[in-house]
Structure 1
Amino acid sequence: MNSYIVDGHCDSLIDFVKGERTLLDPSEGGHWDTTRARMSGVSLQFLAAYIEAEHKPFMATTRGLQLIEGANRFIAGHPDRLFPILGKKDLSLIPDPERTGILLSVEGGEIIGQNLFMLDIIYQLGVRALGLTWNQRNELADGADEADTQSRLTNLGKQVVSRMNELGMLIDVSHLNEAGFWHVLELSKDPIVASHSCAKALCNHPRNLTDQQLRALAKHKSVVGVNFYPQFLKETGIATREDVVRHICHIADVAGVETVGLGSDFDGITEVPEGLEHVGDYCFLIDDLRKAGFSNQEIDKISSQNFMRILLNVLK
């Protein structure tokens, strides 16, 4: 069979909630829409509810719930194109020849404020993945921009990790500071993801992961989704699709092909690499992986099966 795609992160939901795009028609612009996603073989899309800085901290919960409502309205309004991923049974529908599965994630633990019960509420509303932080500090942990503090998770953060394991929610450590990353690996009994990050050895950015972190993810049977943001791919010069392949190859070499996936960050990034400018270009990336020497089985792991393995492990 042809490879299908699981994309671990995109931020297109905000455009839908703001009424700027329907996310159905490529002519509306943006990086991601259902039409191009289906054409390029995206069978499962992690759709992120990103809470913008202007809503933090006091209105973060309200904004997060508004985004979740928008995501559920988007999915329910297009049953011919989309279906929700809520548990293991839904994974059996992938790949669907006509529809894209949507897994709802929240980018930033600010949505729960100081209230652990909010985690159960957003779970009941369909959220199945949570990024503990964005780049700043919140009540759970410190983000990547707070690296100098070397702070581990707070007591609430530890409770959140434990409760996410109980509920069957996927813990996302992209945007978390390094001390928090190691703390999560100590605490979580389930595999985790860094849904949209790259390799620090190739581009020294605070959002990227060291080789030590990559090996630790491999040991924990976890996955990193390679991000397409040029600033994470290359320190100088113009980033291209080849740089995405370079990061995939590096992570596969360091941590094994079972540890690497795809996490485009489409519509959450202000620039894109040449040759990988929207979701419709995924077919070219798959061809490049084949040219780079990956076997068909390895390409299947990178494009979909590594994320699918974790979801089958974590979801209830």
Structure 2
Amino acid sequence: MIIVDAHCDTITRLMETKENLIRNNCHVDIERMKQKGSYVQFFAAFISPEYCQAYAMKRAMQIIDKFYQQIEIYSDNIMSCCNYRDIENAVSSSKVAAILSIEGGDALQGDLSALRMFYRLGVRSLCLTWNHRNEIADGVADGITGGGLTPFGRDVIMEMNRLGMIVDVSHLSERGFWDVVEISGQPIIASHSNAKSVCSHRRNLTDEQILALKNNGGVMGMNLCPAFLTNEGEASLKDVINHIEHIASVGGIDIIGIGADFDGIDDTPREIKGVENIDGIFNELLKLNYPQEAVDKIAGGNFLRVIRQVLK
């Protein structure tokens, strides 16, 4: 089994705590990932609204620099990966496979040349918006306006397809989601989003969106934020399973993955304190008589399929 987590904010958190990636008090570190066997982790450069608009690109560069500092220091245990072949090399070397992403297209500051330069720096996935509007599209917090992709946003999608980057629609307005589905010629992901039919939070996807993601060949990663898991407050492992089962009933097993949002959230389900407990999800599915093949897909196989198809 290869585990793929499509979203964490650990690098950004380390910049605040001054800890290191090998061992820390955050949700994610190298030692705990390696204990789980073969591990692929997307590390997001999160562009907080306080850095927008004037300093968004500068902030992205600071986080990316921190990412590569940690990769260099701990190169015996972790490897930066830009495509599926790199992941194979990392796994065969018993190293964590690290994929660099950006959360918030504000980092581009409205310029396609910035997208191309971020690609050259190893960024392989872009979450188009955070919750608010930027030059690319409206975020979920602005969904009431009915706005979707801007003309620049449409150019971004086409250029990401050309470069071989994964388009991430988590945090995007619903209209923006449908615009991306229409335009993208490659599978897309919702790296850390759950099912709105199970929990009504605005960050979750409707059944219609889930079905569209299936038809696109994409994947959605289960977010462990309690507010996205249940309307009742404190969350448990059972709530995670409820989302998986609902999504499977709508779109099938092949669109489900993990996007824990570790270190981007303060609270987690009771049974999951951090990456050390992530396999509790897979063990619970096996107890429910999910076939091993299905569990392997949810653990990482589905995201690996998209990675293999999209990344160059």
* TM-score (normalised: structure 2): 0.97
CA contact (8 A) 1:43 1:94 kept: no
The one of 7, 10, 17 aligned to 1:9: 7
Q: 1:169 aligns with which of 141, 165, 168?
A: 165
User: What is the DSSP-based 3-state SS (H/G/I as helix, E as strand, rest coil) of the residue aligned with 1:93?
Assistant: helix
SS of 1:102's equivalent?
strand
Structure 1 residue identity aligned to 2:149? L
Any unmatched runs of 5+ in structure 1?
none
Alignment of 1:1-316 (within 5 A): 3-18=1-16, 20-25=18-23, 28-41=24-37, 43-93=39-89, 95-96=91-92, 98-316=94-312
Cα displacement (A) at 1:114: 1.5
CA contact (8 A) 2:148 2:176 kept: yes
Q: Is the 8 A contact 1:142 1:177 kept in 2?
A: yes
The farther-off stretch of 127-136 and 65-74 is 65-74
Q: Distance in 2 between matches of 1:249 and 1:96?
A: 32
RMSD between aligned alpha carbons?
Answer: 1.2
Q: Alignment identity in percent? A: 40
CA distance in 2, matches of 1:288, 1:224: 19
Q: Deviations over 1:118-147 (max 9, x none)?
A: 000100111000000000000000001111
Q: Which letter maps to 1:215?
A: L
After TM superposition, give the deviation of residue 94 of structure 1 in Å.
5.4
Give 1:299's aligned amino acid: V
Distance (whole Å) between structure 2 residues aligned to residue 211 and residue 97 of structure 1: 40
Q: Please tell me the residue identity of whatever aligns with 1:313.
A: Q
Unaligned regions of 5+ residues in structure 2, if any?
none
Q: What's the TM-score once normalised by structure 1's chain length? A: 0.96
SS in 2 for 1:104: strand
Query: What is the CA distance between 1:11 and its match in structure 2?
Result: 0.3
